[in-house]
Amino acid sequence: MITKKVNLSDYNAEEIPNGEDFKIGIVCAEWNAEITNALLEGAYDTLVAHGVKESNIKVEHVPGSYELSTGSDFMLTYTNVDAVIAIGCVIQGDTRHFDFICEAVSQGLTNVSINHHKPVIFTLLTTNDMQQALDRCGGKHGNKGVEGAVTALKMVALKKKLSKLI
């Protein structure tokens, strides 16, 4: 049971389903690559630590976070993954770009998930500055990629459990 998390990498390993039969896609934005590659590594290593076979993890890159929705849609349309972890990092700048990208990604990923009936995990850092992003990709606040992988494992297990009921 999650109440308030102090660190993005904290989770109870006993509650995490074994992923040996799961196929997971990861779509990772190239913008702010220093951050997104660290998130990708956190997600990938967590999946493997919980039994997902490396041959069942498919990683693809898209140019920026705005493209995460389309990339996730492609992943779910053209591969047989059970879920997608969408990874990006949007850092507040001087213009309203930040707001448009964040809004588009959150709405877009929700739409893709519902349209495909599969989990699409929002692993997007939306920060005021680079330091806040560094703190959340393996720094003092943990790694949001770990959180994304744990969420993917839980959601795939939930779908498998419920779909057996019909």
What minimum distance in Å lies between the beta carbon of 26 and ligand DLZ? 15
Give the C-alpha separation, 145 to 98, whole Å: 21
Report if residue 29 touches ligand DLZ, rule: CB under 6 A: yes
**Interacting residue with ligand DLZ among 11, 44, 66, 122 (CB under 6 A):** 66
**Interacting residue with ligand DLZ among 34, 49, 77, 97 (CB under 6 A):** 97
Report if residue 65 touches ligand DLZ, rule: CB under 6 A: yes
Q: Is the CB of 21 or the CB of 30 nearer to ligand DLZ?
A: 30
Q: Which residue among 97, 116, 117, 141 is the active-site one?
A: 97
CB 71 within 8 A of CB 86: yes
Q: Rg of the chain's alpha carbons, rounded to an integer?
A: 15
Q: Which of 8, 44, 38, 1 is nearest to 154 (CA)?
A: 1
Contacts of 101 (CB under 8 A, 6+ apart): 64, 65, 66, 90
Widest pairwise Cα distance in the chain: 51
50 has catalytic annotation: no
Residues making contact with ligand DLZ (CB under 6 A): 29, 31-32, 63-67, 88-91, 93, 97, 101
Catalytic residue list: 97
